[in-house]
Structure 1
């Protein structure tokens, strides 16, 4: 499969959140299509899931949207807390270790540790477009919530 026919990792994670919310609130069939699209990352599966979701009544989609947004916010806050705890633990470990001297110091600029950058182009979505329907708008809202 080419990259043009695949969904990015953030979209797939958002689809899983939406599928969980759909399954919990309403429709197992729509949830199955969303899970399939999230697992495969294929645009054809995404289009099928989109059609299935759009066929749901408006009131059900609204309930699903509220649940999905709440879950996405919770996931994001959990990630932030974990990072903060990890950073705090690293600072504690660093303060306990003896100070470096002479030849045992490592220049931070030459570190072999890879750090994930939010500016990393590999993380950018290849599917930048205006939302054409409610599922796409909801997906973008979930992605914005996860990124903030």
Structure 2
């Protein structure tokens, strides 16, 4: 898979994500830029913005979130920042600004799919799916 100029921008912006947000304790896992989509794994470690009770992820020796609350849940609406949605929003915005210099019609799908990886087996399966995604491109219904 040889990325286009816009694909290179996607990869560069993704790689910069942890450096741009050092206060969020981010780490990248596998990722792949496909001609019409992107897959990536991102770890959000313990930081000042998540108040989860933290445990250790035995597979990676990192903190893993496990929520334990003794207070009643309060739904807090308002601007969302310092969470997965804000990370993706910032990433997509940075890519869009640069990509529209190349193709003024560039746009993203309006939504993204996220999935919490709960155990080492799921992590391995998702990592392998990402690694093997280019091998499936020839048969992809969107490959024209």
| TM superposition score normalised by structure 1 | 0.29
Pair member with larger Rg? 1
| TM superposition score normalised by structure 2 | 0.30
Structure 1 or 2: more helix by fraction: 1
Structure 1 or 2: more strand by fraction: 2
